[in-house]
């Protein structure tokens, strides 16, 4: 009799824990999931090195760079190769963006109307690189059905921009891994609901204090044979960076 009571108690404890874990998972809202993924990619600060390879049917071109970010307010990109572009610096502060071009000693203000334009001839837009818009703040979020994408169980979330939001996309569908909250796939649509780009992440690696995808591909939906690959060589998070680093005055000194 005591054995029956003991095993009954154990069963109830396990059942209670399983139910509690399940309920906790169910309690995550779409915006909470998006926020977790966004914060994991950003950290309080980040700095690292990466290579972008532009792939076209008859040629390929690579650009190497260093990046620094602080929250969602500041972002700097410094081009280290090839020689033709080396020394160019891109700065984002809040909703504004500048480009320092040392070869002509010119500082160029990039207007909001150009955020949808290709960055350095790639399939990434200016907004994709510096994240002028916020997937947390500028969109409404809706949980769709879960899906398994390339072997990863994912939350599927629809993002619709607020009417007054300064965004370039009419809709985004994102798949975020349940294990690790990594952005695993995204589809980007224009205002007419036409699919423009597909973004696939892969190759999860330890980067600093977290595991994140080390490879991201941006693929135009209607241009076969074209894509841009971003490969992260190293990233460290949450190291102090002074606000003054992210200034127009400092752009000419970044190395």
* Non-local CB neighbours of 178 within 8 Å, separated by 6+ positions: 25, 146, 152, 153, 154, 155
pLDDT of residue 26: 58
pLDDT digits (tens, 9 = 90+) for 84-125: 999 999 999 988 899 999 999 999 999 888 877 899 999 998
* Non-local CB neighbours of 65 within 8 Å, separated by 6+ positions: 49, 50, 51, 52, 77, 78, 79, 80
pLDDT digits (tens, 9 = 90+) for 1-42: 544 444 444 444 444 444 433 444 458 999 999 999 999 988
For residue 166, the 8-state DSSP code is -
CATH number 1.10.10.10 given to 29-251: no
Q: What is the mean pLDDT of the chain?
A: 88
In 3D, which of 49, 98, 56 has the Cα closest to residue 236?
49
Burial of 16 (0-12, 13-18, 19+ CB in 10 A): exposed
Structure tokens at 25: 């998972």
Indicate the pLDDT class of residue 55, thresholds 50, 70 and 90: very high
**What is this structure's pTM?**
0.84
* Residue 220, number of CB atoms within 10 A of its CB: 15
pLDDT of residue 206: 95
User: DSSP letter string over 168-189?
Assistant: S-SEEEEEEETTT--EEEEEEE
Instruction: Kindly report the backbone phi and psi dihedral angles of residue 114, in degrees, each rounded to the nearest multiple of 5, phi listed first.
Output: -100, 5
Domain chopping of the chain, boundaries: 29-251
User: What is the mean predicted confidence (pLDDT) over 217-227?
Assistant: 95
């Amino acid at each position: 009799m005591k054995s029956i009571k003991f095993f009954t108690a154990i069963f109830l404890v396990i059942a209670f824990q399983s139910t509690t874990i399940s309920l906790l998972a169910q309690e995550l809202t779409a915006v909470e999931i998006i926020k977790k993924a966004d914060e994991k990619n950003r950290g309080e600060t980040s700095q690292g090195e990466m290579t972008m390879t532009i792939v076209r049917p008859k040629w390929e071109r690579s650009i190497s760079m260093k990046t620094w970010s602080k929250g969602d307010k500041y972002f700097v990109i410094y081009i280290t190769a090839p020689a033709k572009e080396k020394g160019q610096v891109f700065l984002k502060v809040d909703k504004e963006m500048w480009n320092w071009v040392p070869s002509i000693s010119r500082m160029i203000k990039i207007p909001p109307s150009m955020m949808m334009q290709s960055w350095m001839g790639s399939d990434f837009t200016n907004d994709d690189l510096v994240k002028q818009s916020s997937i947390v703040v500028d969109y409404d979020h809706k949980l769709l059905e879960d899906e398994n994408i390339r072997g990863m169980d994912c939350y599927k979330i629809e993002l619709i921009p607020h009417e007054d939001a300064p965004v370039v996309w009419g809709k985004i569908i994102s798949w975020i891994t349940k294990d690790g909250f990594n952005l695993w796939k995204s589809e980007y649509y224009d205002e007419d609901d036409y699919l423009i780009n597909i973004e696939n992440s892969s190759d999860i690696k330890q980067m600093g204090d977290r595991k994140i995808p080390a490879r991201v591909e941006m693929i135009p939906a209607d241009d076969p044979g074209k894509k841009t690959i971003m490969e992260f060589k190293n990233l460290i998070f949450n190291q102090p960076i002074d606000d003054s680093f992210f200034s127009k005055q400092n752009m000419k000194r970044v190395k």
